[in-house]
Amino acid sequence: MKEAQIWEILSTVPDPEIPVINVVDLGIIRQISIQGEKLEIQATPTYSGCPATDAIKESIIETLKANGVKNLSFKYLLDPPWTTDWISDEGRRKLREYGIAIKEKGSIDKKSLFSDEKDVECPQCHSLDTQMISLHGSTPCKSLYQCKSCKEPFDYFKCH
């Protein structure tokens, strides 16, 4: 099996907590290595304490085996840590449509010595008049925000 086929198969594996996005668009698949008949997948979890880590690994292995891969190894890499910058443009679009806000690639959203806090855009009405109402959202990798314009709550991917 060729590497392009493996990537295509992996793009059918949804994130168990956010089923509108797959593991490829989420940017957690870091490397695919094919050595003869052996396939090695290297991935990075979105969050080191992510409760879905085992489920993601099992889904990837199960899907690859169902597609004829017999000799497979899977390894999680924690360095470098995952960042929202690794989410594909298609993944970003899917997340916004699902109601999850995400920072722009390469932007800073934390207060630092030389920058102000980044505005978080409401995925419903696109207003920048939003506020964090809880550091903890529906999953450990997200915070809960609320739009002051449309009053809707929404998740925001924490930046790592």
4-35: pLDDT as tens digits: 999 999 999 999 999 999 999 999 999 999 99
Q: What stretches of 38-155 show up as alpha helix (H) in DSSP?
A: 53-66, 89-98
CA 131 to chain CA mean position, Å: 22
Residue 110 belongs to a domain: no
pLDDT at 45: 92
Residue 8 belongs to a domain: yes
Residue 43 belongs to a domain: yes
What percentage of the chain has pLDDT greater than the value 70? 91
Look at the chain and report how many structural domains it folds into: 2
Chain segment 81-124, per-residue pLDDT in tens: 998 999 999 999 999 999 999 887 765 554 433 444 567 999 99
Structural domain range at position 124: 99-103+117-160
The residue count for the chain: 160
Give yes or no for a cis peptide into 81 (omega within 30° of 0).
Answer: no
In the predicted model, what is the mean pLDDT of the chain?
Answer: 88
Residue 71 and residue 7 share a domain:
yes
- Say how far apart CA 112 and CA 10 lie, in whole Å: 37
pLDDT at 160: 56
Residue 72 and residue 136 share a domain:
no
Residue 72 and residue 8 share a domain:
yes
- Say how far apart CA 99 and CA 115 lie, in whole Å: 27
pLDDT at 47: 83
Output DSSP code: residue 136. -
Centre a 10 Å sphere on the Cβ of residue 118 and count the other Cβ atoms it contains: 15
* Integer-rounded Cα radius of gyration of the chain: 17
Tell me what the mean pLDDT of segment 40-59 comes to.
91
Find the CATH number of the domain harbouring 64: 3.30.300.130
- Say how far apart CA 122 and CA 52 lie, in whole Å: 26
Residue 86 belongs to a domain: no
